[in-house]
Structures are given as C-alpha cells and as structure tokens.
C-alpha cells in the first residue's frame, strides 16, 4: 500500500491551503511506532492552523504534557522529556477542540536502514525465509516502517510517499520488508531487551551521490552531474532530498547502510571521499534538525560489499571495499569515527535466483553488523566485531611474516595451504622503477604476483611466500582478498579465532 498524505505534499507544492483547518502528525508518525528512548529526547512534529497553539501529551507508564507551541508556517514541533524504554503509550496532539492520537507507541531505539538493492532485499527471499517469517510473532516490540521511493530536486520537509506505515511484525508485514534491516533489528532486540524501531529508506541500483546533500558532494568535487547515470533517481542529491531529509527531525539511535555496487562503475575512485562525507553530513544534519537530540556522531554501520561471479562486467568491487573504509581497511578508523563494518566478501551466492549480486544469506551479514552495533553503539566490552587485520609485516628471505591484531584461524594442513594458492592467496607487488601497484589493472599479471600462505607461525602470525618476485627486485606492497570474488562461501584463508569473522581485504605498502 502506498499512502500519500495531504500535508506531506507541502514540500512539493509549498502550500498549506488544504491543511489549514487540520491537525496532523508528519507522515512518519503513526500508531505502533517506536520513538527514541532516554537519555535522548524524542522529537514529534506535524501540521496545524497558522498561529494556533498545539499541546502534546503522553498517557501511559510515564505520562507527561509539553508546554504549548505555536504553529509557524503551518508546522508545530515539540521535544518530549526523556522517556524510559517501554510502553505502550498514547501520544496526543491537541489544538483548540481538535485532538489527534497515536496509539500503541513504544519507546526504544530507532535505526535508519538505507542503501541500494541489497538493503531493499526482501525478507521472504533469504535462505530459510519461511522460517524467518515464522519468527515474527516472537518480536512484537520490533516495529517497522518503510518510506516510499521518491526523488525530488529540492529538500523536502516530509515524505511524499509512505510504502508501509508503522506496523507490528507479522508474516505479511515483514515479508516485503528489508531482510537485513529486520534481522538486524530482532538481533538487537535479543541483545538489548527493549523496543527497536526500524525505518527502511532504500532504492535499488542507486549511487551514493543521490543520497548525499550538495554540501557533502562539494567536499569531494562531485557537485556537478557529469557522469552518465542510469535512471533519474541517480541524479545528485535527489534521494537525499526526498528520502533522507524528511527524517532529519526524528531522533535516531543510529543507521545501517548497504550500498556501493553502483559506485563500482561510476565515480569509484571518489568513493573514499564521498562515502565518509555523506556520513559526516547526515550526522551533522540530523543533529541540527533534531535540536541536538540525535547524537552528532551517531553510530553508523555498513556492509562491505559481498561478491559477484568471476567474469561479471562490474570489476571494481575490490577497490570499493577499500574505499568504503576511507582506504584504511577497517572501521572505525580516524576518518570514520563511531562506524562499524560487516565484511561480506565470503558470502557468494552463485545460484541466487535474484542474480548473484544479491546473495541470499542476509542472516550472517546482520549478525556481523549486530556485533559492531553492540560494541560501537552500546559500548559492550570484549565484543569482537571485525576479523583480523595486520598489525605488522616483516620481510624475510623469500617470505613475509604477517602479524595480526588478534588470534587468527587459518588452514592448517599442507593440502589446505596448496588449496589457498588455488583459491586466492595474498599477493605481493614486485618493486620496479616504474611499478604502480595500486592502479595497475587486475587483468595485468605484473606487478602483482601470488604470495601463497606457507604456515601459521604463531597464534597471531602467518608466513607467505615472496618467491614469485625476482630475487633482484624488492617488494613494494602486499595485499589480500583483492578480487571481486575472493573466496568460496565462508572459505576465505583467514578468520578470527572463532572462525566467524573473515579478515577484511587490505593493501599495504612495504
């Protein structure tokens, strides 16, 4: 169902003539919704008659009434006092003799889920989708909302289209909802034991430039549409205007993001700027519009791109994975504070009926994201949420010793190590006077050559061979998992000690 609300069209038509006698909430407030819990303060707003007074009150476990506010330019807005997690509440807005009421409202944590098709990927399509849908009745305190797909040339104050109003989870309501968003939400509920609100705002096949404000794009020299782009929804800022900007006044706990496939073919080499710039701009914009209630550094989780079949015409996945981390290889990092990343390169789905670019295992991705959220968003200590990353590299006679920042699990038998050479070993760049290891195309055999794993030398170290480099030449760099499809399903060479978190790709100059 697509609901188009009268007052939500204000941003499109710049007119309140049809709404002057009405008292309404903005489009994304509704029955069964989740508002942000304490210590943050939820922001509630809507439309009313110009100059009139609006009073908002809560009835429920912790009743409260806000001082009246004046409707200005057709809009009223209040910031509630902090409310502990729980409910249900009724939220009432009163103007003169008119009262509108939202019922069965809970207070908890609100997460925004954005990106392109892998975020939009519906729950019924995942592996064991029927079993997943059968779980919905167990999670009445995880509530879902879906923005309609819309684009606009100017920043909008409210949504023009609502695809799914706030709903309790049922087989019918969750079936077409984002699988990643839903599974992440129920995992967070299992961990936090308080209500979770999930807001889906995504569009398949879209570029980061469409989700970014002009301010963010200017930071990266992308404020002019100069590249050929498929679909009008990929013009600069049009989805920021219509599908993100309307939410700015809603208080959020955090966001998760799955996007980048489209940028593997358009503006790929700018993604190390455009993606961090988008995060920074979203944070400052939400913080300002919510009156400081959404944190200035709210937690932002993202999925490092999964994989595509060998031979796929999209060839930039390895580079985009690197750029998703602002060219550091891990998150959080100095450029991207309060972020967390789920590595997904080891989850290929060659037989996906929805194309191999859309792997069906969203459970593993959601689980890895949930670990990051527990550590970064909720400050849980001793939660490992990212696989091993090199802490030091030592060159020896015909080999390199890679020491990781945590205990690693790698293949242990000689046969396994031989297989690692066949699958995707690390690679080294042989130094020459003209070697440019980072920018040489992957299809050119040199200067990158295989560096197969020879042995695990300690709990945190492994040795790789550099014998493929001519002895007269030095080593310029080493990299790992630098392909569109680095390994088979959950079968990359290096994992965390538990075997659940793959080591992320890296490229390091020596």
For residue 328, being part of any structural domain is answered with: yes
The confidence score (pLDDT) of residue 119 equals 98
Residue 210 tokens, joined: 């469409």
- Backbone Cα Rg of the chain: 25
Instruction: Please report, for the domain that includes residue 341, its CATH number.
Output: 3.40.50.1110
289 lies in the same domain as 394: no
pTM above 0.85, yes or no: yes
Q: Is residue 382 part of a domain?
A: no
Write down which residue in 90, 106, 122 finishes a domain. 106
Asked if residue 163 and residue 219 are part of one domain, the reply reads yes
pLDDT at residue number 9: 44
Within-domain flag for 37: yes
What are the residues whose beta carbons fall under 8 Å from the beta carbon of 318, sequence distance 6 or more? 442, 481, 482, 483, 484, 486, 505
Integer angstrom CA distances of residue 45 from 54, 248, 457: 10, 11, 60
Strands 34-36 and 24-25: unpaired
Q: Work out whether the CA dihedral 62, 63, 68, 70 comes out positive or negative.
A: positive
Which of these three, 106, 137, 167, is where a domain ends? 106
> d(Cα 220, Cα 335) in Å, to the nearest integer?
14
Task: Say what the pLDDT of residue 419 is.
Answer: 54
- At which of 377, 412, 435 does a domain end? 377
List residues bridging with 400 in a β-sheet. Answer: 395, 464
Q: Are residues 193 and 147 in the same domain?
A: yes
Give CA–CA dist 182/84, Å, rounded: 23
Question: What do you get for the CA distance between the two ends of the chain, in Å?
Answer: 56
Provide the residue range defining the domain that includes 453.
390-509
d(C-alpha 96, C-alpha 166), whole Å: 27
In a domain, 384, yes or no: no
Alpha-carbon span 343 to 355, nearest angstrom: 20
Q: Which structure tokens are listed for 460?
A: 């945190």
Q: How high is the mean pLDDT in each 10-residue block of the chain (510 residues)?
A: 41 39 94 98 98 97 94 98 98 97 98 98 98 98 98 97 98 98 98 98 98 98 84 96 98 98 95 98 98 98 90 77 98 98 96 95 98 98 96 91 95 53 73 62 61 92 89 81 91 93 93
Rounded-to-integer distance, Cα 49 and Cα 155, Å: 23
Q: Which residue has the tokens 């009073």?
A: 55
Q: Is residue 385 part of a domain?
A: no
Give 408's strand partners: 496
Residue 269: count other Cβ atoms within 10 Å of its Cβ: 12
CB 120 within 8 A of CB 76: no
Return d(Cα 82, Cα 348) in angstroms, integer.
44
In a domain, 294, yes or no: yes
Same domain, 210 and 315: yes
> What is the 8-class DSSP label of residue 243?
I
Q: For residue 84, what pLDDT is reported? A: 97
Cα distance between residue 189 and residue 193, in whole Å: 5
Query: How many domains does the structure of the chain reveal?
Result: 3
Residues 87, 119 within the same domain:
no
Measured N-to-C along each axis, helices 362-372 and 179-192 cross at an angle, to the nearest 10 degrees, of 40
- What single string gives the DSSP state of each residue in 159-182? -S-EEEEEE---HHHHHTSBHHHH
Same domain, 235 and 261: yes
H/E element holding 282? Answer: helix 271-289
């Amino acid at each position: 169902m697509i609901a188009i609300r009268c007052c939500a069209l204000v941003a499109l038509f710049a007119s309140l003539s049809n709404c002057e006698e009405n008292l309404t909430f903005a489009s994304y407030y509704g029955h069964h919704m989740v508002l942000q819990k304490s210590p943050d303060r939820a922001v509630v707003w809507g439309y009313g008659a110009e100059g009139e007074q609006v009073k908002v009150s809560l009835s429920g476990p912790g009743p409260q009434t806000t001082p009246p506010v004046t409707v200005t330019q057709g809009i009223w807005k209040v910031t509630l006092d902090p409310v502990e997690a729980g409910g249900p509440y009724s939220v009432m807005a009163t103007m003169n003799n008119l009262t509108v009421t939202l019922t069965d409202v809970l207070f908890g944590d609100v997460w925004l889920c954005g990106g392109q098709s892998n975020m939009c990927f519906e729950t019924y399509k995942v592996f064991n989708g029927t079993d997943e849908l059968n779980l919905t009745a167990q999670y009445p305190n995880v509530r879902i909302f879906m923005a309609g797909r819309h684009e606009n040339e100017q920043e909008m104050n409210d949504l023009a289209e609502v695809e799914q109003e706030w709903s309790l989870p049922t087989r019918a309501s969750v079936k077409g909802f984002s699988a990643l968003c839903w599974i992440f939400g129920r995992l967070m509920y299992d961990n936090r034991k308080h209500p979770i609100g999930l807001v889906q705002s995504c569009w398949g096949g879209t570029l980061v430039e469409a989700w970014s404000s002009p301010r963010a794009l200017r930071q990266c020299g992308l404020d002019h549409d100069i590249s050929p782009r498929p679909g009008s929804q990929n013009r600069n800022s049009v989805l920021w205007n219509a599908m993100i900007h309307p939410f700015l006044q809603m208080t959020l706990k955090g966001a998760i993001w799955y996007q980048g496939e489209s940028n593997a073919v358009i503006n790929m080499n700018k993604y190390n700027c455009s993606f961090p710039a988008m995060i920074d701009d979203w944070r400052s914009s939400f913080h300002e519009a919510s009156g400081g209630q959404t944190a200035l550094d709210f937690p932002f989780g993202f999925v490092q791109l999964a994989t595509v079949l060998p031979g796929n015409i999209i060839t930039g996945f390895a580079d985009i994975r690197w750029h998703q981390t602002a060219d550091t290889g891990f998150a959080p990092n100095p450029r991207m504070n309060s972020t967390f990343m789920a590595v997904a390169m080891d989850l290929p789905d060659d037989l996906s009926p929805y194309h191999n670019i859309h792997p069906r295992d969203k459970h593993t991705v959601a689980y890895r994201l949930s670990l990051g959220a527990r550590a970064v968003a909720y400050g849980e200590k001793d939660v490992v949420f990212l696989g091993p990353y090199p802490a030091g590299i030592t060159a020896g006679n015909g080999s390199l010793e890679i020491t990781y920042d945590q205990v690693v699990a790698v293949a242990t038998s000689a046969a396994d190590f031989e297989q690692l050479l066949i699958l995707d070993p690390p690679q080294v760049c042989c130094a020459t006077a003209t070697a440019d290891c980072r920018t040489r195309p992957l299809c050119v055999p040199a200067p990158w050559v295989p560096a197969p794993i020879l042995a695990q030398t300690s709990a945190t170290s492994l040795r790789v061979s550099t014998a493929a480099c001519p002895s007269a030449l030095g080593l310029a760099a080493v990299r790992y998992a630098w392909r569109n499809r680095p390994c088979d399903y959950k079968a990359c060479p290096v994992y965390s000690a538990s075997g659940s978190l793959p080591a992320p790709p890296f490229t390091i100059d020596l």
